Amino acid sequence: MPNLRSRRINGNLAFWSTHQKRILDAIGEGVVKYIDDFTTFPVDDTTGDPSEWTTTVVEAGSGVTTIASADKSGGAVTITTAGNENDGGNYQLLSESFKTSGNELYFYTKLQINDVDQTDLFVGLAVTDSTLLAGVSNAVYFESVDGSASLSAVTESGSTETQTDSVGTLADGTDIELEFYYNGSNVEFFVNGSSVATSSTNIPSTEMRPSIHFLTGEATANTCTIDEIRVIQIGR
């Protein structure tokens, strides 16, 4: 396991491993963070929806898409779609608390999908939007589309995007680490700890929130298991 190290960022203390832009945690007056390994997953007693996330479920027919705690060491949640093509769920943390403007910003997630070329995935930071995969105005994210296991890295501002295709490849039932780091001028994307793309254009400056949109691309239920989400903003 890589050693834990630290460095100062704008007067705040950030802890990192593997590479200096993989921020595990940070402390200081300028730090805003959301770190969840899903060892617990509170839900609404009436609806069963996650109480810390806004949920929009898409159902093309009968059946129900669910998100629930998974039996996995260290914690996880699993999205299980209903069994019709384009069934799935759109999930966003309740508040828009993170922005690039005037800050350094880090996003990390580890997840796995059971059938990678029969699903659609959007994961990253975005403004409030209940149909992320259909198009979002301001966001920084990874995306894969039905029919392909290939990942794209995207920065989008005012509905204009900068997209780098083929930055990584998903594999059935296999964990993948996706992260990006904004250093004040550009966004660098990483897949499994390796730098895969950098964008200096169409970087949004508005507040965003952690966001996931997952759909099945076939008439079969599919799953996405999320091991962790970590977002750390370090202000100037």
Given this model, what pLDDT does residue 1 score?
A: 61
CATH of residue 106: 2.60.120.200
- Model's pTM, two decimal places? 0.95
Given this model, what pLDDT does residue 236 score?
A: 64
Given this model, what pLDDT does residue 60 score?
A: 74
Write the DSSP string, 212-232. Answer: EEEEESSSS--EEEEEEEEEE
Three-state DSSP class for residue 116: helix
Distance CA 211, CA 62 (A): 25
Contacts of 136 (CB under 8 A, 6+ apart): 122, 126, 127, 129, 156
Given this model, what pLDDT does residue 28 score?
A: 96
Is the separation of the CB atoms in 101 and 205 below 8 Å?
yes
**What tokens appear for 226 in the block?**
């999320």
Count how many domains the chain has. 1
Q: Is residue 153 part of a domain?
A: yes
Given this model, what pLDDT does residue 87 score?
A: 95
Q: What are phi and psi of 176, to 5 degrees?
A: -135, 140
The boundaries of the domain holding residue 134 are 30-235
Distance CA 44, CA 157 (A): 33
By residue count, the chain amounts to 236
Given this model, what pLDDT does residue 161 score?
A: 97
Q: Is residue 14 part of a domain?
A: no
Pairing of strands 194-199, 53-58: unpaired
Q: Is residue 9 part of a domain?
A: no
Tens digit of pLDDT at every position of the chain (236 positions): 678 999 999 899 999 998 999 999 999 999 999 999 999 999 888 888 899 999 999 887 667 899 999 999 999 999 999 999 999 999 999 999 999 987 999 999 999 999 999 999 999 999 999 999 999 999 999 999 999 999 999 999 999 999 999 999 999 999 999 999 999 999 999 999 999 999 999 999 999 999 999 999 999 999 999 999 999 999 86
Q: Is residue 24 part of a domain?
A: no
| DSSP 8-class letter at 85 | T
Helix, strand and coil in the chain, % to nearest 5: 5, 55, 40
**What tokens appear for 179 in the block?**
């992260």
Which candidate, 100, 162, 94, 92, places its Cα nearest to that of 122?
Answer: 92
Contacts of 45 (CB under 8 A, 6+ apart): none
Pairing of strands 209-216, 12-17: unpaired
**What tokens appear for 141 in the block?**
């994210």
Q: Is residue 73 part of a domain?
A: yes
Q: Is residue 206 part of a domain?
A: yes
